[in-house]
Structure 1
Amino acid sequence: MTLRAEGPASPEDVWLRYVTPACWPSWSPQIRAVRVDDRRIVPGTRGEIVSLFGVRAAFAVESVDEERRLWTWRVLLGPVRLRLLHEVLRRPGGSATTLRIEGPAVALAAYAGPARWALGRLVRG
């Protein structure tokens, strides 16, 4: 599944919000907290996301391409495994972000609504 959002935030600001785990709860309302040692994600960063309802999911960052503003990570929530690929693009008057999610269809269907909402908040500025 691929989702996309466009908004007035600069690509630099959107990218910074992506690569700084402490910022994730500010634009992704389904995330209450992020537990991670790294201030900025790098390949190999591992941590835990705590959802709005206290559900915890482990994650590991696979790749980060600062120049192309592209990053990939895996999230594990019980038996459910997701792979998420994020990209930030420059657009006239702001930016766009795309999110490709690979995983079980049921999990994708459940995550699509919150993810769309979060992406809109991310690029809104």
Structure 2
Amino acid sequence: MSRLELRAVGAAAPDTVWRRYVVVDRWRTWSPQVRAVHTDSPEIRPGLAGTVETFAGIRVAFTVESVDHDRRDWTWRVRLGPARLRLRHEVSPHGEGSATGLVMEGPAPLLAAYAPLARCALQRLVRP
């Protein structure tokens, strides 16, 4: 199991960035690899399960492990066949904008393949 940390800083307010995470229908507006999210809840919560449909039509299963609205922090697990990733996201104030961090844990080749997409998404996430 390997670990990779990414970070992005931008002008969007922390509350704005957090809402972009919390409301699953907003994921596709900042994450270019997401075409749709299929779940029974409009917002993330512990235990929420569903699938993320990618731009390539691939469906990735997920389960949200934890959500802390006060700390603007959440963790989820994603699964594609035998491949598994654990992702922890956080949002914090940074100057007049915000910073977002992502810690990914999983097989090193999968982390390396996903990192460029994740980096792009995080940069879009913190834009105003």
Gaps of 5+ in 1: none
**Correspondence 1:41-120 to 2 at 5 A:** 41-120=44-123
Secondary structure in 1 aligned to 2:41?
Answer: coil
Secondary structure in 2 aligned to 1:124?
Answer: coil
Aligned residue pairs total 125
Secondary structure in 1 aligned to 2:126?
Answer: helix
The normalised TM-score by structure 2 is 0.97
Partner of 2:23: 20
Tell me by how many angstroms 1:4 deviates: 0.1
Gaps of 5+ in 2: none
The normalised TM-score by structure 1 is 0.99
1:84 partner amino acid: L
User: C-alpha offsets along residues 28-59 of structure 1, whole Å, 9 cap, x if unaligned?
Assistant: 00000100111111100111000010011000
Give distance in 2, aligned partners of 1:39 and 1:54: 21
Give distance in 1, aligned partners of 2:110 and 2:58: 14
Give distance in 2, aligned partners of 1:43 and 1:92: 30
2:29 partner amino acid: S
Cα RMSD after superposing both structures:
0.4
Runs of 4+ in 1 over 3 A off after TM superposition: none
Secondary structure in 2 aligned to 1:72?
Answer: strand
Tell me by how many angstroms 1:93 deviates: 1.3
